[in-house]
A and B are shown apart, each in its own frame.
Chain A
Amino acid sequence: MPEFARVDPATDVAIIGAGPAGMAAAIEARRHGLGVTLLDDQPAIGGQILRGISHPRRVHYEDWGLPLATAFQQCGAEHVRGASVWARDGETLVYGVAGQTCRLRARAVILATGSMERPVVLPGHTLPGVVTVGALQALLKGSAAVPSGRFVLAGNGPLLLLTALQLLEAGAAPLAIVDTMPRRRFRSSLRHAPGLVSDPALAMSGIKLLARIRADRVPVFRHATDLRVLGADRAEGLAFRSNGREHQIEANLVALHDGVVPNDQLAVSFGCASHWNAETQCYAMTTTDEVRASVPGIWLAGDAAAISGGYLATLTGKLAACDVAHELGAMTGKAHGEAVAPLLAERRRRLRARRFVDALYAPTLSAAKADGAALLCRCEEVPVSRIRAAIAEGATGTRQVKAATRCGMGPCQGRQCTLSLVSVLAEELGAAVTDFSRPSLRTPGRPITVAELAASHTGQGHTGSDA
């Protein structure tokens, strides 16, 4: 029989995620004298956007990044690396580190699990050699690795341009940028542009990026459609249509990007409510006072709650920690009100600028319009055509499609296919995404061994062998 879990000393605040939101929350909670344990599944602090910050290589970080990381390292929070949380049992978080199960009891939990790349669906996208643009960021910042052969970047979103620039600076030149932003989208997004004055830096950065890339003479193919990855056993190139012509670029690495979405798997598996956000075309966590999740004892900060970028993540991290401090009696109501007012005001101001960005970078590689042969569920290898067939045969919701096709039943438990699934349902049934319930998630929040599960609780439940 496996040993029982290691029981950590109880703490005041458990924070999940060591990105900007998590680190900011930890610093703020420590300021109020609270005991803090930060659990992060990555090998080092930084999350995605600040990955590698504790060993900064020749990579440019935003100017608030290094001071934040330094302040975190000095704030006195416990930091557990490689810790992957998979359940919540009352006030106790259950996590694993290299196969060992651990239990951590905390009076408050702040989920700061950040964002992930929006799942894309196109023919050939599961071949070896196809990665996300975020993956290139992770490789550069986390492992100091850059593409070495022929590679292209394809999709839509500021990260595409930013990554192209970073790779150029590191000596790795993409063969092309295949930009999928539809014609006329810029013009139609302009009605949100007045919001940009609330965050001029955001406005300028996009324009600067484009100028730099043109200067480096990386070909940019615009308004690209009908993307498909070529190759049988691995990626050998990217085919697409642009400016009325068919193009094919030979490459052994294809990086795709279609925006980012909240990495909310854990929050949902803890029972926190979410809702569809039509502006960002993905789910956002339902909160009160911006930071409280629908489950008592759980707070949300950063992109995990709703996509708003790295800097705003530090604000909501602080807001969540202040709310926790107030709740746990470490901060008076008056002090709390005074602390959060300016944070909320700044957040509101900067969020106005995001409406333009959200409109500009709405998804372009959605499963809803994808070729039937493309795989919608990577884990269970379910093509879009099978999903459409299940709907044609009468499936009217996510559970029924799941039951008929096994979509969502693999190791990723819907992370890479839920958004695709609801978009196909909406398309095929002429309905709104909000007409379909989001698949529910249960323990474990990520795959664990039976031994880890056995070790997580003393058990003695109602198990019996009566049929």
Chain B
Amino acid sequence: MKRAIVIGGGIVGLSLAVGMARTGLSVVILDGSDQEPRASYGNAGLVWVQGKGANHPPYAQWSRRSASLWPAFAADLLAATGIDPEYDRRGGFSLCLSDDELASRAKMVARLSGQPGIPDDVVMVDPAFIRERLPKVGPDVIGGSWCPADGHANPLLLTQALAAQARGLGVEILRDDKALSIGMVRSQLTVFCVENRYPAERVVIAAGLATQPLAATAGMLVPLRPVRGQIVVTERLPPSIAHATPTTRQARAGSVMFGNSHEDDVVTPGTTLQILASHAQRAIREFPFLASARVLRSWGAIRVMPADGMPIYARSESCPGAFAVACHSGITLAAAHAEIVGPAIAADALPAELATLSSRRFDAALAS
């Protein structure tokens, strides 16, 4: 039986591992310790297509493809593990509170409209349309964009479900042996860790920010930057926000998570009062009823941002059988990673539709 090693046990690594295990590979995940940044614990859970790839149609198409696979992906996870990733796909809004926001959003929507290969269903909407679906929205919301294909899931339950599904497929998850490099030992692809070395036929690096240095040891260029996102979480509230937005979203259990901030190149997790307060100010403008809701906690997680914002799929030349996958939208792409990319990598290839999302695009940039 062919053996595969996935470095990284977050949502990206788990999705790929599940996809590969289904083809009959024997898969081992080398997962990092509790102390690693672990972006899978620090994101908002959007399964989102509107806005993705506005400047690059293949990425827009790829996001769509994954979103269309999500309902079956979620149902499958529930059936296989009994854990419900709480996927809701009722459409999503991006709410605008100023003319500038409205104008900038409209420009993005116009760019997307008429793009080949995707439905023309991202539209600008007026407050009446929004209010019909989000009755608690405040008077400061003067419009927004809407896409019926948008939704959200519970990232913690998704991680749990994927891990359970992986285990059910015979995937072994090892912790506490940190991967250092990938190389060839007498033509045998090998992962070198602190304690042991692991030979394998396939190696996929899906280790968040650590993907960049690890991929470099196998000659793959995966330029990533850390970005910190601060999020505020409330107590459980009665169902009040039926559609997700990037700034405010209500989980099925009732907690509302709000705030969408990006602090480039910050490597320390944590929160700042300035940003948390401005999240709160915006949340109240979007949904006035939130003013009296209780905030229980906040976090500022370090997340992964590829240099040009789009996912990176890399295939090594110096170490045949080695691949790397890095992205910001690991939740949205989880379905496609499990259903399409994992099996492709098992067959030692990357899907053709990802040609322009390959790491080779950075070679050109470097050359210039």
Q: Interface of A with B (CB < 8 Å)? A: 1-2, 87, 89, 94, 271, 393-394, 396-400, 403-404, 409-411, 413, 436-437, 440, 442-444, 447-467
Contact = CB atoms under 8 A, between A and B. Distances in A.
A413 B283 CA distance: 22
23 contacts: A87-B273, A89-B274, A393-B164, A396-B175, A397-B33, A399-B34, A403-B160, A410-B296, A442-B298, A443-B298, A449-B292, A450-B232, A450-B292, A450-B295, A453-B280, A455-B277, A463-B260, A463-B282, A464-B261, A465-B96, A465-B105, A467-B50, A467-B94
A399 B275 contact: no
Given A87-B273, A444-B298, 20 more contacts: A2-B291, A393-B167, A396-B34, A403-B159, A410-B296, A442-B298, A442-B300, A443-B298, A447-B295, A447-B296, A449-B295, A450-B283, A450-B294, A456-B277, A457-B277, A461-B275, A462-B263, A462-B275, A464-B262, A467-B50
B187 interface: no
Nearest to A457: B277
A110 B46 CA distance: 42
B274 A457 contact: yes
A394 to B, nearest CB: 6
B273 A456 contact: yes
Contact of B278 (A89, A411, A413, A461): A461
Contacts of A411: 235, 294, 296
A157 to B, nearest CB: 31
B41 interface: yes
B346 interface: no
Interface residues of B, number: 63
A465 B35 contact: no
B69 interface: no
A440 to B, nearest CB: 8
Contacts of B282: 463
Interface string B290-304: 111111111110000
Nearest to A403: B156
B52 interface: yes
B274 A460 contact: yes
Contacts of B283: 450, 454
Given A404-B160, A459-B277, A413 B297 contact: yes
A463 B278 contact: yes
A447 B300 CA distance: 17
A443 B280 contact: no
A99 B271 CA distance: 22
A271 B300 CA distance: 14
B116 interface: no
Contacts, number: 165
Interface string B237-258: 0000000011100000000000
Nearest to A453: B280
Contacts of B245: 465
Contact of B38 (A399, A436, A447, A452): A399
A409 B246 CA distance: 22
B277 A453 contact: yes
A397 B300 contact: no
B278 A460 contact: yes
A409 B46 contact: no
B95 interface: yes
A450 B237 CA distance: 13
B163 interface: yes
B291 A451 contact: yes
Contacts of B160: 403-404
Interface in B132-175: 156, 159-160, 163-164, 167, 173, 175
B284 A450 contact: yes
Given A1-B284, A442-B270, A448 B50 contact: no
Contacts of A444: 295, 297-298
B193 to A, nearest CB: 16
Given A409-B297, A413-B297, A466-B246, A1 B281 contact: yes
A464 B284 CA distance: 14
Nearest to B247: A465
A449 B294 contact: yes
B284 A461 contact: no
A123 B91 CA distance: 45
Contacts of A462: 261-263, 275, 278
A453 B295 contact: yes
B274 A398 contact: no
Contacts of B285: 1
B57 interface: no
Contacts of B323: none
Contacts of B280: 450-451, 453-454, 459
A96 B296 CA distance: 15
Contacts of A460: 274, 278
A447 B284 CA distance: 17
Contact of B48 (A397, A409, A453, A467): A467
A211 B190 CA distance: 71
B101 A465 contact: yes
Given A443-B276, A463-B275, A404 B164 contact: no
A28 B96 CA distance: 54
A70 B96 CA distance: 57
Contacts of A87: 273
Given A465-B101, A467-B50, A453 B156 contact: no
Nearest to A448: B295
A467 B95 CA distance: 11
B272 interface: yes
Contacts of B294: 411, 447-450
A114 to B, nearest CB: 23
B247 A404 contact: no
B50 A461 contact: no
Q: Give the 9 A-B CB pairs with smallest separation, nearest first.
A: A397-B34, A459-B278, A457-B277, A461-B275, A454-B280, A461-B278, A453-B280, A467-B246, A89-B273
- Candidate in A410, A440, A450 with the most chain B CB atoms within 10 angstroms: A450
B176 interface: yes
Nearest to B244: A467
A454 B273 contact: no
Contacts of A457: 273-274, 276-278
A465 B291 contact: no
Nearest to B160: A404
Contact of B260 (A396, A437, A455, A464): A464
